[in-house]
Amino acid sequence: MNNTPYQTPQSDLTITPDIPAEILKKIKGACVAGIISIIITAIFVFASIYGDASSSTGLQFGWTSFIDIAIMIGLVYGVHKRSRICAILLLGFFILNKVIMWSETGELNGSALALLMFWFFIQGVIGTFQYHTFMKNWNDINNNPLELNANNNI
């Protein structure tokens, strides 16, 4: 018997919010779209370096394209951590890459996939803003309980 009357009681004082599933779904969708974009870019880079993909796509990928991949990895990780700035930068980086790619080739190759990815990145931006709004409201409620009950004459 390790229970003594002099032992302090243990209690869990951490309260964690139940984040709505639709917010988490938007953020997760942006992360998955970012990972897919990274994989596709890496495939084209390796195919261009080790094969003859530049003649079929019209794009020139080199070792410097790994900088794009590293930036995308960092931004996707930031979105995973629910960063609004990373979500906006990821969307902007994706748009910039598509504009550069389409201007170099003169063709809108992969526009259906690009529109789908664009939609997921937009949802990621919306989801991160919704997450921070939810957390601010949740923190306001849990840190100032007397303000909410001021009309109840506690």
| Residue 39 domain-assigned (yes or no) | yes
| Residue 1 domain-assigned (yes or no) | no
More confident residue, 46 or 133: 133
| Residue 33 domain-assigned (yes or no) | yes
Residue 145 pLDDT class (50, 70, 90 cuts): low
Q: How far is CA 124 from CA 47, 84, 94, 99, 139, in A?
A: 30, 9, 13, 20, 22
Contact status, residue 56 vs residue 73, Cβ threshold 8 Å: no
| Residue 2 domain-assigned (yes or no) | no
Global pTM reads: 0.78
Does residue 122 surpass a pLDDT of 90?
yes
What confidence score (pLDDT) does residue 13 get? 66
What confidence score (pLDDT) does residue 12 get? 65
Does residue 141 surpass a pLDDT of 70?
yes
Q: Which domain holds residue 62?
A: 22-138
What confidence score (pLDDT) does residue 151 get? 44
| Residue 108 domain-assigned (yes or no) | yes
What is the spatial distance between Cα 77 and Cα 87, in angstroms, rounded to a whole number? Answer: 10
Question: pLDDT (tens digit, 9 = 90+) per residue, 5-41?
Answer: 777 777 666 777 899 999 999 999 999 999 999 999 8
| Residue 143 domain-assigned (yes or no) | no
Structural domains in the chain (count): 1
Does residue 60 surpass a pLDDT of 50?
yes
Residue 15, judged by CB atoms within 10 A of its CB (0-12, 13-18, 19+), counts as exposed
Identify the three-state secondary structure at position 14: coil
| Residue 151 domain-assigned (yes or no) | no
More confident residue, 43 or 129: 129
| Residue 144 domain-assigned (yes or no) | no
Question: pLDDT (tens digit, 9 = 90+) per residue, 63-118?
Answer: 788 899 999 999 999 999 999 999 999 999 999 988 988 888 777 777 889 999 99
Query: For residue 129, what are its two tokens?
Result: 């803003």
